Amino acid sequence: MALDSGTGTISNTDGVVTAPIAKVVPAERVHHGDTFIDEYEWLRDKESPEVIEYLEAENAYTEVRTGHLQSLREKIFDEIKARTQETDLSVPTRHREYWYYSRSFEGKQYGVHCRCPIDADAEGIDAWTPPQLEVGTAIPGEQILLDSNEVAEGHDFFALGAFSLSHDGNLLAYSVDTVGDERYILRFKDLRTGRLLADEITGTAPGATWSLDGTHVFYQTVDESWRPDTVWRHRLGTSTDADVQVFHEPDERYWVSIGSTRSEKYLMIWVGSKITTEGWVLESENPEGEFRVILPRREGVEYSAEHAVVGGEDRFLILHNDVVDGAKAENFVLADAPVADPSNMTVLIGHRDDVRLEDIDCFAEHLVLSYRREALTRLAIWPLTDSGYGERHELEFDLELFAVGSGANPEWEQPTLRIGLTSFITPLQVFDYVPATGELLLRKEQPVLGGYDPNDYEQHRDWAVTSDGTRVPISLVWKKGLDTAVPKPLLLYGYGSYEASIDPSFSVSRLSMLDRGMVFAVAHVRGGGEMGRLWYENGKTLTKKNTFTDFVSCAQHLIDAGTTSADVLVADGGSAGGLLVGAVANLAPELFAGILANVPFVDPLTSILDPSLPLTVIEWDEWGNPLADKDVYDYMRSYAPYENVEAKDYPAILAITSLNDTRVLYVEPAKWVAKLRATKTGDAPLLLKTEMSAGHGGVSGRYEKWKEVAFEYAWVLDTVGLADA
């Protein structure tokens, strides 16, 4: 292979492979008296042929440097494929007169959404027992609602956004993105005839919400920064020029969304920043009415409201973190209030330092409370009685690590509750819980072909202690039989932003690493939500560095404990987790053999300084506003991976990005790799791979995703010396 351009060269003539070298074009950035010379900002212009040529040169170089792994990539892909039941269907969910489910077919990239009629003679629990549909066989009365494979035909990328049925089940609103930029085209299908309606709305956000009578649909549009800021009402059969703007949020810190309550009595508009929320409500039977505010927004107060009928009265169950009894309810409290006067709240569940209340689901006869304790998710069932509230009951599972949550439960009156359970060693299990009897009925376990046995693997919780005395949880999984007397190759994953929790979950593809002797671990660092709201608060804005030092402490703990060693330890993170591993590469490169960074947010200061970039203003509550605050600027300047690249030995690095990503622009990892290549010492490989027709989530289609996973895992295994295992 040979490539020569003004931006880089690749040649394998005589066995020599030369990396692309990005040209240097100094650009000066001055803020708060600090001058930073950015030599690679020119890579931001993706319309430039020179930029595209450089990215393609990097792709070609990456392909050359990883060419020896082709057979391993193919083997891992084949393993994933062989373990996956390609022709399958989901557990049907009951909604009115139909069972709804999705199918997958061998050789097809995307799912097929279907329904079939409910047995009219079934009664009681039997009427809620999903039919035993046979995989690969015809289903009586089956109707295909949407075949994503047909919609995706002819497109390199496909993502389904909205998939929303009218209340009578006759109409389907769905939206698609065929570019990867998260701007969707909303279309409508008459399910009685199978024909598309003439209505078509471009440039929407993903969702769609129907009015109760099916005459109107509510949707959102985004501003120039990709922020959902406006809710519109569209009357079916009319021109989009006649669509009515029902809500607009001018404050650039806030996102807007719309939905309906499970009871279908109310439409809800939610407005939220990172630290403040506000809800608006309207009776569903009056779609052309005026929304009214539930509780006026107050800076720093977040809340949610769900409709319940308690003792025959319409109530809102409100989760909030306002001040209660003189102290801020950091981990939230649950309150009850009349719909007619939401401010008249009575606290039902008070604040606890060790429990983070996360959600409340309301049904006609019971409530479902979701919360987090000891870095694990929990569910409690709470019956409603004629006089009010019964006794709560927490569901228990005989697993050291697990994740549990509510599944698809669209009906207001239903005698069962659909839940999902998984762990690192437990394929996803779908249950129906019967509140009246306490029965937990297994409806399906994710099939894993090839003789998978969870008893061949083990998962455990460990704890690292940081320099400030904080105990940080680590979750680990490995295949039994590993030699515990010697350090083992280990992939350490971390995220640590936006209060997002990385809960234990099963992965078919991960088995290809575990079976080759790799340990997988998650560092539940501050900035995430695993240990409650303060865990998040102590890993954002001016405490963000805790996220990075926690990860380093976890790595050091695993090395000191003999679980792994620096020469076989790889750090893994994507998006904001890419910022994490990028910062860690600067902080403690000696602890890692490799860094895997997916769509990494490695140039955060440049992005957060530019309000014109997608989502920047919204991010100020997470990172701080470096434009207005010198302390924030200096703090971000001190940890930003791109700006702190130094002339020292770095571990092997593989950075993966997407040209059409609107959340973390491709330019961030492109600049980072260019600067690393020009600055670092040592000969550890440095690779950049850019998907040229994808967005933030990477490639689309399950087979393409498996190929991407195989590419990454082959690189990881090669980095720790297990490529031949």
Tell me the catalytic residues: 575, 661, 696
CB-based contact 314:287 (threshold 8 Å):
no
Nearest-angstrom CA–CA distance, 130 and 119: 10
User: Considering Cα of 644, then 647, then 653, then 656, what sign does the dihedral take?
Assistant: positive
Name residues whose C-beta falls within 8 Å of residue 183's C-beta, 6 or more positions apart in sequence.
177, 202, 203, 204, 222, 226
> How far apart are the two ends of the chain, measured CA to CA in Å?
29
Nearest-angstrom CA–CA distance, 605 and 342: 41
With 0-12 / 13-18 / 19 or more C-beta atoms within 10 angstroms meaning exposed / middle / buried, residue 303 is buried
Which one-letter DSSP state was computed for residue 591? G
Nearest-angstrom CA–CA distance, 241 and 276: 33
Nearest-angstrom CA–CA distance, 95 and 407: 13
CB-based contact 335:345 (threshold 8 Å):
yes
CB-based contact 623:258 (threshold 8 Å):
no
Nearest-angstrom CA–CA distance, 469 and 153: 55
Residue type, 540: K
Angle at CA of residue 687, ends 692 and 474, nearest 5°: 100
3-state SS, residue 546: helix
3-state SS, residue 292: strand
- Residue from 183, 188, 215 nearest 200 by CA: 188
- Residue from 473, 650, 490 nearest 568 by CA: 490
From residue 590, alpha-carbon distances to 184, 467, 563, 578, 676 in Å are 44, 18, 17, 18, 16
Which one-letter DSSP state was computed for residue 724? T
Edge-first strand listing for the sheet containing 346-349 = 303-310, 313-320, 333-338, 346-349
Q: Spell out the alpha helix ranges (H) of 147-281.
A: 148-151
